[in-house]
Amino acid sequence: MTRALKEMRQVGSTTVVVPSGEVDLQRSPELYREMMAICRTRPPRLVVDLRQVSYMDSSGVSTLVEVFRSVNAYGGVLVLLAPTERVRAMFQIAKLDQFFTIVDTEKEALRDG
């Protein structure tokens, strides 16, 4: 897998990607490039599994916003899976916790996959 993404797998029509570690100004550019490359393949449902992301700053959040825009533009669905408490707090400060579709379990994330 790439440095930005620890894992990527296909479950039916759903693509699941797993970033990990601290997503900050150092790591988010690479994550952005990887995520945009995936978006160009137009997965109908893209799940970003955030369970292993221990920290995210505004550059990481901005990457997710851009991914959302890209997926939304071709009519796909973006789902964020189980962000850690620290990352969830970041979404709340950014007032984006209501903007993203966030689910707590893999079963919910794959529901329509």
CA proximity to 48, closest of 113, 112, 109: 109
**Does position 99 bind other proteins by CB under 8 A?**
yes
Tokens representing 74?
A: 């071709």
When computed from its CA atoms, the radius of gyration of the chain, rounded to whole angstroms, is 13
**Does position 65 bind other proteins by CB under 8 A?**
yes
Interface with other proteins in residues 6-45 (CB under 8 A): 22, 24-26
Q: Which is nearer to other proteins, 14 or 91 (CB)?
A: 91
**Does position 96 bind other proteins by CB under 8 A?**
yes
| Least distance between other proteins and beta carbon 110 (Å) | 26
With b for 16 or more beta-carbon neighbours within 10 A and e for fewer, the 78-104 pattern comes to bbbbbbeeebeebbeeeeeeeebebbe
Stretch that binds other proteins, among 5-13, 35-43, 74-82, 94-102 (CB under 8 A): 94-102
Q: Which is nearer to other proteins, 84 or 113 (CB)?
A: 84
- Could you identify the residue written with the tokens 């379990």? 105
Contact between residue 68 and residue 98 where contact means Cβ atoms under 8 Å apart: no
Name the site residues for other proteins (rule: CB under 8 A).
22, 24-26, 55, 57-59, 61-62, 65-66, 86, 89-90, 93-96, 99
